[in-house]
Structure 1
Amino acid sequence: MGFRFQKRFSVLPGVKINLSKSRVSTTIGGKGAGVNIGPDGKPMVTVGIPGTGMSYRQQLGVGHLVVGVVLLAALAGIAYWMFPDQVRMALHWWQPKWF
């Protein structure tokens, strides 16, 4: 069994930079689900049950990624239509209050 090193830095809510001894990658998502994009550019989706250590990991093709982005944009639009103040606050938490 080999020795592994991994360090994860949060740069924004839901966005993390992952460092290991051989590569750097970016993860977008939260507890239970996320998409990891490594140096080769191939997206990997991981879905798991938080607190159990059980998860499923699958490489996505470009077509799947496009469909996922479109669905995410549609979901964000529906959420904004239903709860505009909460979505606006979540998207602009980092801006100074004078904007």
Structure 2
Amino acid sequence: MPITFRKSFRIFPGVRLNINRRSWSITLGGGSGPRHTISSTGRRTTSYDLPGPFGYRRTTTRRRRED
């Protein structure tokens, strides 16, 4: 079984700093509204929790420039 590391800190109400072994991210919102997550790897995720077994998630990834 691999050893994992993940820690989440509440900075302000509705703002969280998430840290894991390879990257960090900031999550804004939540509760009854949308949640936006921005990662140091370039991933951006928007998600909504809907009643019942429904939910919505959209993820976009930053494209790397080739020099």
TM-score by length of 1: 0.46
Percent of residue pairs identical: 28
For CA contacts below 8 A with separation 6 or more, give which structure has more relative contact order: 2
The reply to whether residue 44 of structure 1 matches residue 45 of structure 2 is yes
Q: Letter of the aligned partner of 1:8 in structure 2?
A: S
Return the TM-score normalized by structure 2.
0.63
Question: What is the aligned-residue RMSD (CA, Å)?
Answer: 2.9
How many positions carry a matched residue from both structures?
A: 60
Structure 1 counterpart of 2:14: 14
Q: How does 1:1-99 map to 2 (within 5 A)?
A: 4-32=4-32, 33-49=34-50, 55-60=55-60
- Structure 2 stretches lacking a partner, 5+ long: 62-67
**Larger Rg: 1 or 2?**
1
CA distance in 2, matches of 1:40, 1:29: 20
Unaligned runs of 5+ in 1: 62-99
Which amino acid is the alignment partner of residue 40 of structure 2? P
